Amino acid sequence: MRNTALIAFLTAAATMAGCHSSGTNSKEADHRGPPRDIGSYIANMESPDRAEWQQVEQVLAALNLQPGDRVADVGCGPGYFAIPLARAVGPTGVVWAVDIEPKMLERLRQHIAEANVDNIRTVLAPDNDPTLPPGAVDTILIVNTYHHFPDRPAYVAKLKRALTPGGRIANIDFIPRTREARGFGPSFDHQLAREAADKEMAANGLYPAVVHTFLPEQYFVEYRTRGE
Ligand SMILES: C[S@@+](CC[C@H](N)C(=O)[O-])C[C@H]1O[C@@H](n2cnc3c(N)ncnc32)[C@H](O)[C@@H]1O
């Protein structure tokens, strides 16, 4: 492999699955910050290889969304889930697609135009607040993003305020494994065990109501308020 090709390959491998590598550079070391190469970051999130382990259709089937549902995709990226979500809830439903990175939303808007859906509201948010309307969202989906939130318990409190009575937060994130073991994905120190998320949800009165176990690389947990 020529040197330039090798460097490109290593960069892509490090950002595979939309999570960038840790490194000596301070920007890279801060896992909440955007990677330097947004183009590769987006390309990796949209990689055809992702379908095998991400299983979008199965995830949507498991969520059992209904036409007219009001859904938020927080940390939506270029819309790997937002577009299928929009189709699942149909023209009477709505998807708030929230991200902190304008280029993600730019790419998402391209997909929205191609997919010809008109029920997605793109939301450019600050990193500490999804800025969702209070009491308005039936399902909040977070994929490979929860570990990015700066103060997670405080962020969850804001997510919870956006839920309708009986609403849920579905969190999908990588099961901690070394990159050597998985062959792709975020570096080990950027991954967050499900138990940590459970505790932070519990601190906000949310419990794991449903735990899906079919994804090979990620945990997938639906949290609800007890008694609802
Ligand atoms: C690994 S990507 C996952 C994107 C998408 N959920 C997917 O599965 O393809 C993480 C996304 O979260 C966004 N993000 C990072 N921190 C965030 C925050 N505090 N609030 C909202 N989005 C955030 C990033 O810009 C990026 O688009």
pLDDT of 32 strictly over 60: no
Q: How many Å apart are CA 95 and CA 111, to the nearest integer?
A: 14
Round the average pLDDT of the chain to a whole number and report it: 87
* Ligand 1 pocket member 127 (CB < 6 A): yes
Which of 169, 108, 155 minimizes the C-alpha distance to 127?
155
Q: Is residue 131 part of a domain?
A: yes
Q: What are 51's two structure tokens?
A: 């379908």
User: Could you tell me how far CA 8 lies from the centroid of its own chain?
Assistant: 25
Q: Is residue 41 part of a domain?
A: no
Position 34 scores a pLDDT of 61
Q: How many Å apart are CA 102 and CA 62, to the nearest integer?
A: 30
> How many structural domains compose the chain?
1
* Ligand 1 pocket member 45 (CB < 6 A): yes
Position 5 scores a pLDDT of 34
Q: SS3 of 81, please?
A: coil
Position 169 scores a pLDDT of 99
Q: Is residue 14 part of a domain?
A: no
The number of the ligand 1 atom at minimal distance from the alpha carbon of 143 is 6
Q: What are 166's two structure tokens?
A: 């009986």
* Ligand 1 pocket member 125 (CB < 6 A): yes
Q: What are 106's two structure tokens?
A: 């730019």
Q: Is residue 185 part of a domain?
A: yes
* Ligand 1 pocket member 99 (CB < 6 A): yes
Residue 139: pLDDT band with limits 50, 70, 90: very high
Domain of 166, in residue numbers: 53-225
Average pLDDT over residues 62-83: 98
- Distance from the alpha carbon of residue 181 to the mean position of ligand 1, in angstroms: 24
Position 209 scores a pLDDT of 98
Give, in order, the Cα–Cα distances in Å from 158 to each of 104, 123, 135, 149, 223. 22, 15, 11, 12, 14
Mean pLDDT lowest among 183-192, 196-205, 208-217: 183-192
Residue 123: pLDDT band with limits 50, 70, 90: very high
Q: Is residue 30 part of a domain?
A: no
CATH code of the domain covering residue 135: 3.40.50.150
Q: How many Å apart are CA 207 and CA 223, to the nearest integer?
A: 5
Question: pTM for the full model?
Answer: 0.88
Q: SS3 of 209, please?
A: strand
* Ligand 1 pocket member 137 (CB < 6 A): no
Burial of 181 (0-12, 13-18, 19+ CB in 10 A): exposed
Which distant-in-sequence residues (6+ apart) come within 8 Å of 51 by Cβ? none
Average pLDDT over residues 202-224: 98
Position 33 scores a pLDDT of 57
Q: SS3 of 20, please?
A: coil
Position 156 scores a pLDDT of 98
pLDDT of 109 strictly over 50: yes
| Share above pLDDT 70 across residues of the chain, in percent, rounded to a whole number | 84
